[in-house]
Amino acid sequence: MHFEFSTADRILFGPGSLGQIDRLATDLGYRVLVVTGRFSKRAEPLIKLLAKHNMAISSFSVAEEPTVTVLEQGLSLAREEDADFIIGFGGGSALDTAKAIAALAPNPGAVLDYLEVVGKGRPLQHEPLPLIAVPTTAGTGAEVTCNAVLKSIDHGVKVSLRSPLMFPRFAIVDPELTLSLPPSVTAATGMDALTQLIEAYVSKRSSPLTESVAREGILRSAPSLRPAYLCAEDLNARVDLSLASLFSGLALANSGLGAVHGIAAPLGGMCPAPHGAVCAKLLPHVIAANVNALQEKNPESPALVKFEDVARWLTGSPSAGAVELVQWLHELSRDLNIPPLSAYGLERGHIPDLVARSLKASSMNTNPVPLTETELYHVIEKSIG
């Protein structure tokens, strides 16, 4: 048995942990670029903590999912300000942008030189700038992953900038920052984390360590999603969802994902859909397709037993199997008011192109079984409406 496990240099978790960021930041330099999400005012407590130490603070806001153009703008600012280090403060878009800026600021060349699929995929020549990642949602786990997802408008697809050097120096996960998130954001990000946990657990590249982390995340996610969705101020539920998100990042960074993310990545480049909501609608159909394919092609696969594990954990029934798991996920999606993919503009005419793009996605490489074009077509068709 051989496996590796990599993550951020240091993880700080718990309510109020943001208050420790200034003592960590002072060791990284004087000039800092703070990358935030659309609502930059949420970063004011962070800015005040840094200002106490007379730091030179620049800010860069990411209004939507990051594109190559947005990254280029952030890179220009980081270089103009000669930033010593970067802080990402926000959801997955802000954290991914921060990771990409930190990675590319010291490296020459164009952004496309380093991107997968649509670019040259070159390795980084120089160490990234130090990065502190502070998530304000509970979904992506981006604070402990070594890639940044970017949308290429020219190619109509989402792709990754990826390097083992891109893990943050510090990940500060403060569940209090997720209080008062809108229900729709809670639902989408929570379903993203749950999908990542399940896909990492059944991944072809999973290990006993990632399986243990994923299991703990699934057990915390299941009873917490509905309460957090219904009551934004439920701190206990927020703590569990923040842990589930963190664990999803730890697991996926070391085991990979599967067909849900293999479809979701190119779909996100084609339609302006929330990533987590897309995952929520695809997940039960992908699980059903995987189980059927495994039963037909590889009935002795340990992934079939793993799907039964997930079914028991989520439903609470010791006799639950794949059928009950799929039904439970459909009911959860309904309770969280996740719309069908047609609500985001996806139509049946888009399916052939989406299937072709999905087959090229890196996440397909770790799906527990190869899915055919026909199987992927039916998964997407069922998710549309």
pLDDT in tens, 294-352: 999 999 999 999 999 999 999 999 999 999 999 999 999 999 999 999 999 999 999 99
Averaged pLDDT for residues 51-73: 93
The DSSP H or E segment spanning 11 is strand 10-13
Pairing of strands 85-90, 31-36: parallel
How far is 306 from 189, CA to CA, in rounded Å? 23
Does residue 168 have a pLDDT over 90?
A: yes
> Where are the chain's structural domains?
10-178, 183-384
pLDDT digits (tens, 9 = 90+) for 348-364: 999 999 999 999 988 99
> Which of the four pLDDT bands, split at 50, 70 and 90, describes residue 70?
very high
**CATH fold of 10-178:** Rossmann fold (3.40.50)
> Which of the four pLDDT bands, split at 50, 70 and 90, describes residue 273?
confident
Does residue 6 have a pLDDT over 80?
A: yes
Averaged pLDDT for residues 266-293: 94
> Which of the four pLDDT bands, split at 50, 70 and 90, describes residue 154?
confident
pLDDT > 70 in the chain, percent:
100
pLDDT digits (tens, 9 = 90+) for 108-151: 999 999 998 888 889 999 999 999 999 999 999 999 999 999 98
Does residue 1 have a pLDDT over 80?
A: no
How far is 72 from 82, CA to CA, in rounded Å? 15
> Which of the four pLDDT bands, split at 50, 70 and 90, describes residue 2?
confident
Counts of helices then strands in the chain (DSSP H, E) = 14, 8
**Helices assigned H by DSSP within 231-274:** 235-255, 259-270
Does residue 285 have a pLDDT over 80?
A: yes
Question: Partners of 11 in the beta sheet?
Answer: 171
How far is 308 from 2, CA to CA, in rounded Å? 25
How far CA 118 is from CA of 137, 169, 360, in Å, comes to: 29, 28, 11
How far CA 249 is from CA of 1, 101, 135, 242, 253, in Å, comes to: 22, 20, 12, 11, 6
Q: Give pTM, 2 decimals.
A: 0.95
Q: Provide the mean pLDDT of the chain.
A: 95
Q: What is the model's pLDDT at position 153? A: 83
Q: What is the model's pLDDT at position 385? A: 84
Q: What is the CATH code for 183-384?
A: 1.20.1090.10
Q: What is the model's pLDDT at position 7? A: 94
By CB atoms closer than 10 A (0-12, 13-18, 19+), residue 106 is middle
Question: Using N-to-C axis directions, what is the helix angle for 275-297 and 259-270, rounded to 10°?
Answer: 140
Instruction: Please check whether the two domains, 10-178 and 183-384, share a CATH topology.
Output: no
Which one is predicted more confidently, 160 or 283? 283
Does residue 230 have a pLDDT over 80?
A: yes
pLDDT digits (tens, 9 = 90+) for 10-34: 999 999 999 999 999 999 999 999 9
Q: What is the model's pLDDT at position 116? A: 84
How far is 80 from 351, CA to CA, in rounded Å? 43
Candidates 285, 293, 296, 292; CA nearest to 260 is 285
Q: Which residue matches tokens 């930059």?
A: 40
pLDDT digits (tens, 9 = 90+) for 177-199: 999 899 999 999 999 999 999 99
Does residue 157 have a pLDDT over 80?
A: no
